[in-house]
A and B are shown apart, each in its own frame.
Chain A
Amino acid sequence: MSAFERVTRRSLLRGGAVVLGSAMAAPLLSACGGGDQGGNPKELTFWNFYGPNPQSDAQSKWFTDLVAAWNADNDVKIKLHYLPVSEYLAGRALQTAFSAGQGPDIFLLSPGDFLRYHNGGVLTDLTPHLKPDQIADFADGALDTRKVDGKIYGLPMEREPLAVFYSVDAFEQAKLSEGDLPKTWEQLLDVAGKLTSKDRFGLLFETIPGYYQNFTWYPFMWMAGGSAVPENGGPGFDSPAVHNALKLWQDSITGKMSPRKPQGDGGNDTSANLGSGFVAMQQSGIWGVSQLAQNNKDFRYGVFPLPVPEGGTYTTAVGGWAFVANAKGANPEAAAKFIAWALGANDAEGIERGRQWNTVVKTNLPARTSVQEAAESAGAFDDPALKVFLDKVVPGSRGEPRYTPEVYKAVSDAIQAAQLGGADPAKAAADAAAKIGTFLKGYKGAAML
């Protein structure tokens, strides 16, 4: 062995030790530090899944126009950062950015993910930047899942309620009419069975595990009188109401009237499932109206509210994304001001901006009363499907719940086990209730709603 080789190996080892030692020290240093995540206080980044997108569609333009209008009048500029919706929803990019200390200054957040970010201490209180009349303008319940201890941490862009879409042609082929639209769970399964044929399923409930599946199942749990976590002294997840809601979804699969695997992007994709003729009825959200209008122009369809169980009370879940500001960002104050202006301003320009977003470039229900009135005046809800959403679906609705990832996963496992795994709904619910109970004993974060 030459002297050269010996020296080089030692040097290499020493060098390696220094590099690896530094790497080991990184989390230790972070443990002591914390604090803000850096960035440019004069140029804030806004991560979203709308724009500027490669298609430069109307929704993308709404975002770019919004930012251009802000940038024209303010010293602190906003820079949009677009992520494809699948990448954004998968959570990896956003979550990785935060864990690397590079979280965006402003981003979009759904109620289902609210507690993860709030309990992580990265959401800014927007309340100081909102006037009382601006707060009062938001529809009843629209802010509930974005509030903690009376402080508002996110402003919703929209309200997206769930209902059932149905194919008029499929109904006619099965010799069914509008009078046969199901009003109870029993009728729902009965009609689904009649609509099922050799190459078409009668009814689609989401089957892909995830936040979206939970979101679509919660209304059935609520209508039967159940809840995921104990509410108002109730029993929590292991209750007859939950068993019945799980059994409804299970029966649709075992009765072979529902697909085990939806097409396209899943249960939220009305074009790939209802519009393609794969299913005759599909539980989905108000966004389905614009999906079908864009991709299935000649498709004849209708909408009806979610059926109710015997003795139950009608409700549905209302989703929708919110703008939130990163408390550890470069300039949380300016980020909060931008959000309050973008979604809270109740001057003519702000109301028109909201109307455009909710009823021109998308089909939502507005989260603010002033925007809702402006949209109604402009005839935005003359479309029969949207009218059903406005008049019959939304009354009695409830906001998408905010649960921690641990509760979400326990519920998700129960739904999957009963719906697709053939498990006894009572046992699936009991297993989930035990996990939720154990978790709640040590939980110290914001209230679950």
Chain B
Amino acid sequence: MTTVADPGTAVRRPPGAAPPVWNRRRREALAGYAFVAPDLLGLMMFVGLPMVLSLGVSLFSADGFGGYTYVGLDNFRQMAEDTQLWQSVRVTLIYTLAFVPIGFVVSLGLALLVRDHFPGVGLVRTMFFLPHVISLVVVGIAWQFLLVDKQGAVATLLRPVGLGDTSFLGDPSLALGSLVAISIWFLMGYNMLILLGGLKDIPKEYEEAAGIDGATSWQKFRHVIWPLLRPTSFFVLVNSVVGSVTGLQAFDLVYVLTQGGPAGSTSSVVFYIYQQAFTFNNYGYAAALTTVVVGFLIAATGTMFGLTKGGRFDAG
């Protein structure tokens, strides 16, 4: 922000006099800190502190009953030989690789669909966003009813095509895909809204000019909308990657719908960490796993920021 002193009201300081302690710049700085303070305090208390605490606990073997034994880096070494951890990493990787791109394309499609005004557009936008206002636990329970084997609404709909016996949550080859689909249904409205904001920021004149030059709809999207939407798309993608590894959908849906089953096919990394802490009392190992996951996400996000110049790609 640039401030310009009004020559008519500026107070002229006598030569050699010390500047006032509480000048405007300092007052603004103080106000700035005061505004940031509640957030900063909350961030330190509820994010920073637990992260450091978790890092501390990861160096101990904690039994869950107040007993701590210092084990150095043993908890981190244990990860290499933990086959179930790698199975969970595989589950999370597949989930992320499916959820992020498909979820993005669906959300972008919806945003393009409701970008322009038409009668009832507000209602349509609301309907797409509606799933996101429901608690994920309720979402899980609702889908559990819809996907009941043999008798559920989905099974009934699929019976005429011979798929009535399909078990979407009980078959290891389908359960993770079902969770991806439910996650996309839950988050598509939220991402649609963010992308819609990005689309609204693109001046209509650019598209109109391209139209006058004879560009087709696809060419307008490819050469006008897509490049200008990149910062917003970047935000949605980073958010989706982080969400698919540690977000609520990676835990709540698993917890409510499958408990990591069938046969471990939906045991995501966060669910595995939860089990280590609350089923096995391996708090130290769970803390070490959390530290590694957070470190990985910070590194991945940092790399993405670095490579894309904060999502602007061509900013220089």
Contact = CB atoms under 8 A, between A and B. Distances in A.
Interface of A: 2, 4-5, 8, 16, 19-20, 23-24, 26-28, 30-31, 33-35, 37, 90-92, 95-96, 98-99, 101, 103, 116-117, 120-122, 198-201, 207-210, 256, 259-261, 263, 278, 328, 405-406, 409, 413, 416-417, 419-423
A98 B66 CA distance: 8
Contacts of B171: 260, 420
B313 to A, nearest CB: 32
Interface string B147-171: 1111100000000000011010111
B261 A31 contact: no
Interface centre among A2, A256, A261, A422 (most CB of B within 10 A): A261
Nearest to A263: B148
B29 A101 contact: no
Nearest to B25: A2
Given A101-B66, A260-B170, A409-B280, 14 more contacts: A24-B53, A31-B70, A37-B66, A96-B278, A99-B66, A117-B65, A207-B262, A208-B261, A259-B149, A260-B149, A413-B84, A413-B264, A416-B261, A422-B172
A16 B262 contact: no
B74 to A, nearest CB: 13
Interface stretch (B44-52, B104-112, B212-220, B233-241): B44-52
29 contacts: A4-B29, A8-B33, A19-B44, A27-B53, A27-B56, A27-B57, A27-B62, A28-B70, A31-B70, A98-B64, A99-B62, A99-B281, A103-B65, A121-B67, A199-B151, A200-B150, A208-B261, A210-B259, A259-B150, A260-B171, A260-B262, A261-B149, A278-B151, A409-B280, A416-B261, A417-B263, A420-B170, A420-B261, A421-B263
Contact of A30 (B29, B68, B164, B264): B68
B68 A92 contact: no
A283 B245 CA distance: 37
B99 interface: no
- 8 closest A-B pairs (Cβ-Cβ)? A260-B170, A421-B263, A420-B262, A31-B68, A120-B65, A261-B170, A260-B167, A416-B263
B68 A27 contact: yes
B129 interface: no
Interface in B16-45: 25-26, 29-30, 33, 44
A420 B280 contact: no
A423 B264 CA distance: 12
Taking residues whose C-beta sits less than 8 angstroms from the other chain, chain B's interface range is 35 or more
Nearest to B84: A413
A18 B67 CA distance: 24
B115 to A, nearest CB: 40
Contact of A23 (B53, B261, B280): B53
B152 to A, nearest CB: 9
Interface in B114-157: 147-151
Contacts of A98: 64-66
A278 to B, nearest CB: 6
A247 to B, nearest CB: 15
Contact of B165 (A5, A30, A122, A256): A256
